[in-house]
A and B are shown apart, each in its own frame.
Chain A
């Protein structure tokens, strides 16, 4: 059961990271997206095998996307089973109900040890000693204004729908995430669980929490 919970948590975390990676400067990174999808697949396989060992009964699976996942009870085991392709085959971008807590939203931001919290603009410093300040070139204004808003605490801002992209590594995932996440994750979940202690720079793994309050439909693009 613990293994199942941990696998579920990692799956949800991976989906969040994939969504969040679209918000960063430069958009989706192919290598990062690939790595996240590999972790998701490993977690899903472990989750399913743990579930099979637990002998839980299989339930009928939804045929299409539900209009509002918040209206549906948690059904992630069945959806995960449907979405799991055989090994070696390319995954199909089917929707998968997944439970998620708002902690997964807050956790990555809190855990993020980004050193550049103050912003991206360069300060007046340089690598030179004091006698060489005359050689520092002037820098033009940045193109984007969004960096100023990108602080780890501003979770709602980061969940704004990303700009539409004509192409990407996982276009189906991108489109569905854009539709689903922006609507769902901006709402206030009912009675969110207590936020965990900050895990910044603490490498110990936390035990999995109950994930019941917010239902997020995740598309697994593999």
Chain B
């Protein structure tokens, strides 16, 4: 698929291929829950790559510079630092355990005065923190009803606009997105824009509400679009059009007829993330069986790739994968019933400039790059 990147890659036109670069993590079949990667993020230059896991540990990788003594290590990511970021805490008053899982990592821009960050671990509130003031924050969104029995939705994700520091969005479990302007009022309980696509009544099922819940929302680098991920699809929204997305990409539509089983085994609650490439011409998201999908917004072509140890030879080209959705299964296709729902790719990251991607598969981190690199 074509993906315009920086650094000498051809912009548009002609396919390039993704190659295996590196894999980090143990090969054990039995995976300790603490080692499951829960977030992946490149920094603004792409020279640093951070992962967080369920055990509260953060590992930071740094890209090696070109070296004559190690010619093949150019562009490789090696461990730069690792530390225990969070430990489990116990709130004795409420008899609640606060888990140490790293939900999100966000790198700070190095050279500006952006001193604020959003925290949205709470289902019902969004707080705004000044990085130099740690004992209090601004509560800017609060959707907790007076009577909890009237609760109908929770906040699922949020993010700042990349250029307008007063604008942020948050998504809900009902599949809606609200864009808020912090200049309008201290408590942003009235949105500036409300994005929602009408439900297709023909596809209604027991699980319609669950699969419409948005698991991730991301602004494009340009700031003109935003992308949302629900259970079966990725949608691109134009910030100037609230009544429907401008683009919808089906990630694994073949699962729609399997929602009952996916509810039984809890997979229907999986929260997939999505990401943009540096030029906003392509988007990527994960699926099951360690598959991940890329969609080219210009050519409307898509590709399914797999993160697996079997395809882990250095610079091995990844072969596109295909799921057989009915009829006769062709060679190299995999049937829906053969998919491994234990192997899910929830977290992916795309280098901000180059065609280098990091894909978290349970406790392993795979790094792929395009063949030209």
Which A residues fall within an 8 A CB radius of B?
Answer: 6-7, 10, 13, 17, 25-27, 30-32, 34-35, 38-39, 42-43, 46, 90-91, 107-108, 111-123, 125-129, 132, 135-137, 139-140, 142-144, 163-167, 169-170, 199-205, 221-222
Let me know if B261 and A115 touch, CB within 8 A.
no
Contact assessment for B35 and A123 in the assembled complex, using a CB-CB cutoff below 8 Å: yes
Contacts of A143 in B (CB 8 A): 88, 90, 97
Q: Is B365 an interface residue (CB 8 A)?
A: yes
Q: Mark B84-113, 1 if CB is under 8 A from A, else 0.
A: 100110100111111100000000000000
Instruction: Give Cα A200–Cα B213 distance, bound, in whole angstroms.
Output: 24
Pair B342/A201 contact, Cβ less than 8 Å: yes
Mark contacts of B335-373 with chain A using CB atoms, 8 A cut-off: 1 yes-contact digit, 0 otherwise: 011011110000000000000000000110100000000
Partner of B209, one of A13, A32, A35, A164: A35
In the complex, are the beta carbons of B34 and A120 less than 8 A apart? Answer: yes
What residues make up the interface of B, taking CB atoms closer than 8 Å to A? 24-26, 28, 30-37, 51, 54-55, 57, 59, 61, 78-79, 81-84, 87-88, 90, 93-99, 123-124, 147-154, 156, 173, 205-210, 213, 255, 258, 260-267, 269, 336-337, 339-342, 362-363, 365
Residues of B within 8 A of A125 (CB): 25-26, 28, 35, 363
A30 touches B154 (CB 8 A): yes
Structural contact, A118 and B210, CB atoms closer than 8 A: no
The answer to whether A39 touches B209, judged by C-beta atoms less than 8 angstroms apart, is yes
Contacts of A119 in B (CB 8 A): 32-33
Known A-B contacts A30-B154, A132-B79, A137-B82; the reply to A115 vs B362 at CB < 8 A is: yes
| Extra pairs beyond A30-B154, A34-B154, A139-B34 (13, CB < 8 Å) | A27-B96, A34-B152, A111-B261, A122-B35, A122-B57, A123-B32, A126-B59, A126-B79, A127-B51, A129-B78, A165-B94, A203-B258, A203-B337
* Residue from A35, A117, A167, A169 in contact with B30 in the complex, judged by beta carbons closer than 8 Å: A117
The residues of A that contact B265 with a CB separation of less than 8 Å are 108, 111-113, 199-201
**Is the pair A204, B337 in contact by a Cβ cutoff of 8 Å?**
yes
Q: Which of B26, B32, B84, B266 contacts A120 (CB 8 A)?
A: B32
Contact B96 A136 (CB under 8 A): no
- Chain B residues, Cβ within 8 Å of A139: 34, 55, 84
Measured between beta carbons, the chain B residues less than 8 angstroms from A164 are: 95
- Cβ B36 vs Cβ A142 within 8 A: no
Cross-chain contact A221 with B149 (CB below 8 angstroms) = yes
**Nearest neighbor of B35 in chain A, beta-carbon distance:** A122
B337 close to A116 (CB less than 8 A): no
Q: Given the complex of chains A and B, what is the CA–CA distance between A111 and B336 in angstroms?
A: 17
- Asked if A39 meets B31 with Cβ closer than 8 Å, knowing A13-B264, A25-B97, A125-B26, the reply is no
When the two chains form their complex, are residues A202 and B79 in contact, meaning their CB atoms are under 8 A apart? no
Q: Is the CB of A135 within 8 A of B33?
A: no
13 contacts between A and B (CB under 8 A): A30-B124, A30-B151, A42-B208, A125-B35, A127-B79, A143-B88, A170-B148, A170-B149, A199-B261, A203-B261, A204-B261, A204-B337, A205-B260
Closest to A165 in B: B95
Residues of A within 8 A of B31 (CB): 115-116, 118
A118 close to B32 (CB less than 8 A): yes
Residues of A near B24 (CB, < 8 A) are 127-129
Q: Give the distance in Å from the alpha carbon of A137 to the alpha carbon of B56 in the complex.
A: 11
By a CB distance below 8 angstroms, the chain B residues around A10 are 206, 260, 263
